[in-house]
Amino acid sequence: DGGITQSPKYLFRKEGQNVTLSCEQNLNHDAMYWYRQDPGQGLRLIYYSQIVNDFQKGDIAEGYSVSREKKESFPLTVTSAQKNPTAFYLCASSPTGGGSPLHFGNGTRLTVT
Amino acid sequence: SQQGEEDPQALSIQEGENATMNCSYKTSINNLQWYRQNSGRGLVHLILIRSNEREKHSGRLRVTLDTSKKSSSLLITASRAADTASYFCATDNSGNTPLVFGKGTRLSVIA
């Protein structure tokens, strides 16, 4: 079954620690995305990548970093520089960049205390 | 930047009734998409309507697009309790930039 896997589903960290969220897809999609969702809010774009070894900042990239070394994988690191990291993080992919429909993972809920 | 703005923010209806959600946006688009999100889960793509289309159907879903008013509506007919979810519109503004999502409408369908 093709899809996107985000792990873990729940993650707890102490303030000041970096944490990496995993996102893997077996859909052979070129483009991958990271969104952040806060309670009752829409999705805000953190980073996206339209091709391996290339990525662009989204609207709220500060305090986050990504890598795209393999087509299937797009991990997101939440650094200690991110002022308010507690949120629901969603990874998505699409066959090409731009406006093609997105396939989403089931998210990682990160709590930083 | 948030392009789409859904209205209402929340909607509560009885099973069997129709549910209508609206989305307004600011700039010209290539297409507009609707997604559904069950609580604590990822979003699921429902339907895509291109800027040169006015109406599209998929099962119990009907989407309209009015580019002159920069607005779209999603109609769910004969709603079921299982339709309870948040619904988001997303716009494709240029074809080479990521989709921009609105804040969503929370739909509750009461059995």
Query: pLDDT digit string (tens) for A13-27?
Result: 999 999 999 999 999
First to last CA, chain B: 37
How big is the A-B interface in CB pairs under 8 Å?
Answer: 62
Q: CB distance B43–A92 less than 8 Å?
A: yes
Q: Tell me the C-alpha distance between B40 and B100, whole Å.
A: 20
Q: CB distance B44–A104 less than 8 Å?
A: yes
Low-confidence ranges of chain A (pLDDT < 70): 1-2
Instruction: Work out the pLDDT band at B1, boundaries 50, 70, 90.
Output: low
pLDDT for position B74 = 98
Q: How far is CA B71 from the centre of its chain?
A: 10
Closest CB to B33: pick one of A4, A42, A101.
A101
Name which of A42, A46, A28 is nearest A103 in CA terms: A28
Minimal CA separation from B90 to chain A, in Å: 9
Q: Tell me the C-alpha distance between B106 and A24, whole Å.
A: 29
Q: CB distance A104–B96 less than 8 Å?
A: no
Q: How many CB atoms lie within 10 A of CB A62?
A: 11
Q: How many CB atoms lie within 10 A of CB A83?
A: 7
